[in-house]
A = this chain, B = another copy of it.
């Protein structure tokens, strides 16, 4: 008779019930992969659950205190009590599977240090990229590489919204409503649309890639709320650019720049065709070059697929009695990543100024850009886009590669010239 690995599931929502379903339906196949059986013996959720032969509780402590349980699967999300559950689980001698990017990003160092000290494992494939096995790829498959760049469409909600804006010419507000109707945006979408969820995921990926702790405050984060339909259409039709919310972490001679912001992606870029709730993540390794992963970033069964793969391989370690001998993710608290000074990251930018229609405006704008060291690649002067600015003209500038600090200085200077009638739009073009 095979050994039985006992699971305590904390959080029986969409993903939790999906995990239960896969473990039941694919039990035989999974047992073969582990050399042991997996059994959910206890479930904690605040809503009532009916399930035979499983201990049900609303109090997670009753799960943590159960000495039979080998693995805690934490699927409640948010910072607390998730953090407490994870740290307590290690103390009680349990290994952990978590899908919780928020708690991982915010407490990375604490969580991994506790795991190492208690000689327990934490797996977290579902925290980034839904069902795409991107954590494993980065942590194991690409382990031979120094990772120089991480770039990704990491949030299904914002990608759904931007896809709707692009394909169906909707405003941000209309597109958000559609995403909510389709179940891809929550009632309060602020974590997603403000880029915070993407920043959480980027922090997890970068911390993992660099065996360090990239904190949320290291990531310059801008959301998509201010993206206008006018820019979306204009960029698509005139330049062939698609706007995507990208999380990007890049090494420049040992110094890191990290950002979450809407960027312009050329149509030939592999990210350009990543639509709706799909995610795509690109790693640049020193040996492997560019590797990209693509798949559903949201949805019950995609996330459940990732959680179950974690359960399988963690169970294998438990069955082998090797769990925790070596940490899953390497984290070295002494390994401090130096950050590129603010404003030093360089790229090409799309700038759109809404100006008064007056002789000499273009000259003052280009003059101000020049003084700030911003070199112009292309200039367009147009009727103003959409209803913004109503009178006046749109001056559109595509810059050569320039430090962000110079761009910001130039925009500030131009905004103060007394010729600007609406908020200036500034979007970086992804290479």
Give A contacts to B, CB under 8 Å.
18, 22, 26, 29-30, 32-35, 125, 130-133, 136-137, 140-146, 211, 268, 270, 273, 285-296, 299, 301-302, 304-309, 312-313, 316, 319-320, 322, 325-326, 330, 332
Contacts and interface: CB of A to CB of B under 8 A. Distances in A.
B131 A288 contact: yes
Which 8 A/B pairs are nearest by Cβ-Cβ distance? Answer: A133-B141, A144-B308, A131-B288, A291-B295, A287-B305, A288-B305, A292-B294, A287-B301
Nearest to A304: B287
Contact of A305 (B142, B211, B306): B142
A305 B145 contact: yes
B316 A326 contact: yes
Number of copies: 2
Contacts of A301: 286-289
Given A288-B305, A294-B292, A136 B141 contact: yes
Given A144-B305, A293-B292, A320 B312 contact: no
Contact of A140 (B29, B211, B299, B309): B309
B143 A33 contact: yes
Nearest to A137: B133
Nearest to A325: B320
A160 to B, nearest CB: 15
A142 B144 CA distance: 22
B292 A305 contact: no
A70 B30 CA distance: 29
A276 to B, nearest CB: 12
A294 B132 CA distance: 13
A292 B211 CA distance: 26
B295 A294 contact: no
Given A145-B305, A305-B285, A332-B32, A140 B313 contact: yes
A140 B133 CA distance: 9
Given A268-B273, A287-B22, A292-B293, A309 B133 contact: no
Contacts of A325: 35, 320
